Chain A
């Protein structure tokens, strides 16, 4: 019984960007941090805010609003940094708010409808409909493509 629910449900962290709800799997989230002092790294795309000291580990920080070409917003009291572990290292994601952990039945996750919003579809792995809420599932693989000399010059 419990086994069946484990398989069919996925724990996600829900966060807000421009009043829309997004979700990433809880298994990749290491922690959620409030304001930390960020050191700017020069010659980076604008969405790379810099690096911060996360308990002795130098961790890069990406502003998801800018990553998705949304309107820029200053870090305020609801903003927070979700630390995700990706490809063996940690990266921080700046989001407007993160307040919810919920179970999403895998069956509720469907492919992305064409009209879902301004976020480029390559960053999205699917859309989950839970009750009345619509959660956009992020494709971390694409969002966190390593910054090399080549693609940094695009900006």
Chain B
């Protein structure tokens, strides 16, 4: 059976199910008595088991099966939920994730899971979790096999399937087909038999295996185990219609065998068990995801309650759509500029209409590429739980606004910086429980991860109620590392001091710990966020906690800019950096230590002469007594960019300058204007120190 075409779907869905498992397990830890949650996990694990068995990933199937057994025991109140048990289950989920990742990167998804399987077995059997005992003996016991009268071996997993289907009124039939001695096309006959049987039920096992059958690696006989509601005689008649078949023999797998299996793990009755090696354990390859009818019914219920209809679209197609739309935006700009020259009312009207429609279209396309930050956030609860245990701290992670949406390209990049920030908050922010109690704080530290929209930006905030930034230590370190001079340090505000920890070459932890400080500091975080066109700031009160605020653009490809003119050249300044535009009198320009500055609403703002920076020959004419400036900001610092005139605001498509021109100073990219000309986009971050 060729399953490679389903691989993508398998990986995608496995990830979803594993994510569901993790989320529900975390919920279970907080409500150990809520059996509905156990059911949810059970369902996810069960589906995963079926899928992985179908795809031939035996280790995943094996591990999920054991996990399912433990969950079943919890569900039936045989064992109660403890942190230790959940630790093991979490570990199993982690291993499953690793295996799925391995498959995704082209591996075979194999992993030695025998130790975990053993631990799960002992949990299921209600044995104490003493990790010191040698697990080897029990591992083998766990792998039971039942032999039926026809001499076919069934493993535990297959028996579960059989017994579950029996509850649903499906019979398990062993169908032994004997081909005629003179049969020429054995594979063809096998195929035809399969086709008939698959119409009436689910094939769960074949002897010999499907591969062997396909390679004609068998004599005249083969056996198929089928789950069906049809009558054995009818099936026999159907199969006999295939030519060149000598005989068909059908036996029922009765409940007896299944019962044997059910009691086996509890009684450990050696007589009925046959111990086999893990590696040679046969797992049915022909099982489909629908192997248990019970499961399909459940899934249907879930989907019907979820009435939102969705389709999966390949991200490449959305990218193509976006590229085509970008072309359209450029042409729209061109039409606008032609129309404004021609002054034809009808043309103006239709151009306006087109602008509106394409604006709506732009919103829809951008929205399609939006992904909730949840996809990044949902791995954090498990990470925080694990880290808190490693650090012996008590920490609550609160997530607010996980449904906030961000462009897919931003989402892909933002994960690592956030992991870094969270690790930092847990390691350096939150104090040890004793220290917290001594300081009159609640024992459990709270870390809040918050996401929300504001204007054209998305904010992601990480707030902790930990120790905050220690001004003296940070300033001391910054001076020692040569990041600030001792004189300058005195005049820094608390916010500026806090932001020193983002400077490169700074690491506050006295010793390098496993958790954060791996030699790379928070400056990496800062760089990543700034490369996304975002911005990070820190507010911290010593003893009360810190707030890291990350501001990100909604999208990276189409941005709003202010077009300005500089000596007949047109430049674009991103609106996201602009505070306001102003026209000032030349007389108001002051001079502070050879640096022209203006007094802008009470703040001293340095002026940046763009013509100087962009090496323009034609200096501004001194006769004009007014000067246009654009006030831009980078974080808290402001600067006034001196320009000749403002042209207006426009939506533009961001384009790169290409491989040949790498890193042009103060230029972040280019765009194509309505008249077909290229305009350069000014990188305000480079202009403000």
**B306 interface contact, C-beta 8 A:** no
Known: A39-B678, A58-B655, A147-B662. 19 other contacts (CB 8 A): A37-B677, A39-B677, A41-B661, A43-B614, A43-B666, A51-B680, A53-B678, A56-B330, A60-B660, A62-B660, A86-B660, A90-B658, A91-B660, A144-B660, A146-B659, A146-B660, A146-B662, A148-B663, A149-B665
Report A1 CB to chain B, min CB distance, Å: 41
Fill in one digit per residue for B609-636: 1 if any A CB lies within 8 Å of its CB, else 0: 0000111100000000000000000000
**B53 interface contact, C-beta 8 A:** no
Could you tell me the distance between the alpha carbons of A48 and B615 in the complex, rounded to whole angstroms? 14
Do B327 and A56 have beta carbons less than 8 Å apart? yes
- Interface residues in A99-154 (C-beta closer than 8 Å to B): 144, 146-149
Q: How many residues of A contact B (CB 8 A)?
A: 29
Could you tell me the distance between the alpha carbons of A58 and B613 in the complex, rounded to whole angstroms? 22
Could you jot down 19 A-B contacts, CB within 8 Å?
A37-B676, A39-B569, A39-B670, A39-B680, A42-B616, A42-B680, A43-B613, A43-B664, A43-B665, A51-B657, A52-B678, A56-B330, A58-B678, A86-B660, A89-B660, A146-B660, A146-B661, A147-B660, A147-B661
Could you tell me the distance between the alpha carbons of A58 and B670 in the complex, rounded to whole angstroms? 7
- Chain A residues with CB under 8 Å of B656's CB are 58
Do A39 and B676 have beta carbons less than 8 Å apart? no
A37-B677, A42-B614, A51-B678 known; A91-B658 Cβ under 8 A:
yes
- Chain A residues with CB under 8 Å of B677's CB are 37, 39, 53
**B679 interface contact, C-beta 8 A:** yes
Do A60 and B661 have beta carbons less than 8 Å apart? yes
**A40 interface contact, C-beta 8 A:** yes
**B146 interface contact, C-beta 8 A:** no
Could you tell me the distance between the alpha carbons of A19 and B463 in the complex, rounded to whole angstroms? 69
**B253 interface contact, C-beta 8 A:** no
Report B686 CB to chain A, min CB distance, Å: 11
**B667 interface contact, C-beta 8 A:** yes
- Chain A residues with CB under 8 Å of B613's CB are 42-43
Q: What residue of chain A has the Cβ atom nearest to residue B653's Cβ?
A: A56
- Chain B residues with CB under 8 Å of A53's CB are 672, 676-678
**Which residues on B are within 8 Å of A, measured CB to CB?**
327, 330, 569, 613-616, 655-667, 670, 672, 676-680
**A26 interface contact, C-beta 8 A:** no
- Chain B residues with CB under 8 Å of A42's CB are 613-616, 664-667, 680
- Chain A residues with CB under 8 Å of B678's CB are 39, 50-53, 58
Q: What residue of chain B has the Cβ atom nearest to residue A148's Cβ?
A: B662
Fill in one digit per residue for A42-70: 1 if any B CB lies within 8 Å of its CB, else 0: 11100010111100111110100000000
- Interface residues in A16-36 (C-beta closer than 8 Å to B): none
A42-B614, A53-B672 known; A149-B657 Cβ under 8 A:
no
- Chain A residues with CB under 8 Å of B662's CB are 146-148
Count A-B pairs with CB separation below 8 Å. Answer: 83
- Chain A residues with CB under 8 Å of B680's CB are 39, 41-42, 51
Do B658 and A58 have beta carbons less than 8 Å apart? yes
Could you tell me the distance between the alpha carbons of A41 and B657 in the complex, rounded to whole angstroms? 10
Report B180 CB to chain A, min CB distance, Å: 56
Fill in one digit per residue for A72-104: 1 if any B CB lies within 8 Å of its CB, else 0: 000000000000001111110000000000000
Could you tell me the distance between the alpha carbons of A42 and B681 in the complex, rounded to whole angstroms? 12
Could you tell me the distance between the alpha carbons of A41 and B672 in the complex, rounded to whole angstroms? 14
- Chain B residues with CB under 8 Å of A59's CB are 658
Could you tell me the distance between the alpha carbons of A9 and B629 in the complex, rounded to whole angstroms? 60
- Chain B residues with CB under 8 Å of A57's CB are 655
Q: Which of A43, A44, A56, A87 contacts B659 (CB 8 A)?
A: A87
- Chain B residues with CB under 8 Å of A60's CB are 657-658, 660-661
Q: What residue of chain A has the Cβ atom nearest to residue B676's Cβ?
A: A53
- Chain B residues with CB under 8 Å of A90's CB are 658
Could you tell me the distance between the alpha carbons of A102 and B356 in the complex, rounded to whole angstroms? 52
Could you tell me the distance between the alpha carbons of A60 and B680 in the complex, rounded to whole angstroms? 12
- Chain A residues with CB under 8 Å of B664's CB are 41-44, 147
Do B661 and A48 have beta carbons less than 8 Å apart? yes
Could you tell me the distance between the alpha carbons of A50 and B667 in the complex, rounded to whole angstroms? 13
- Chain B residues with CB under 8 Å of A86's CB are 660
Could you tell me the distance between the alpha carbons of A59 and B488 in the complex, rounded to whole angstroms? 45
- Chain A residues with CB under 8 Å of B657's CB are 41, 51, 58, 60
Do B660 and A56 have beta carbons less than 8 Å apart? no
Do A44 and B661 have beta carbons less than 8 Å apart? yes
Could you tell me the distance between the alpha carbons of A148 and B664 in the complex, rounded to whole angstroms? 8
Q: What residue of chain B has the Cβ atom nearest to residue A90's Cβ?
A: B658
- Chain B residues with CB under 8 Å of A62's CB are 660
Report B106 CB to chain A, min CB distance, Å: 25
Could you tell me the distance between the alpha carbons of A142 and B325 in the complex, rounded to whole angstroms? 37
Do B663 and A149 have beta carbons less than 8 Å apart? yes
- Chain A residues with CB under 8 Å of B679's CB are 39
Do A56 and B672 have beta carbons less than 8 Å apart? yes
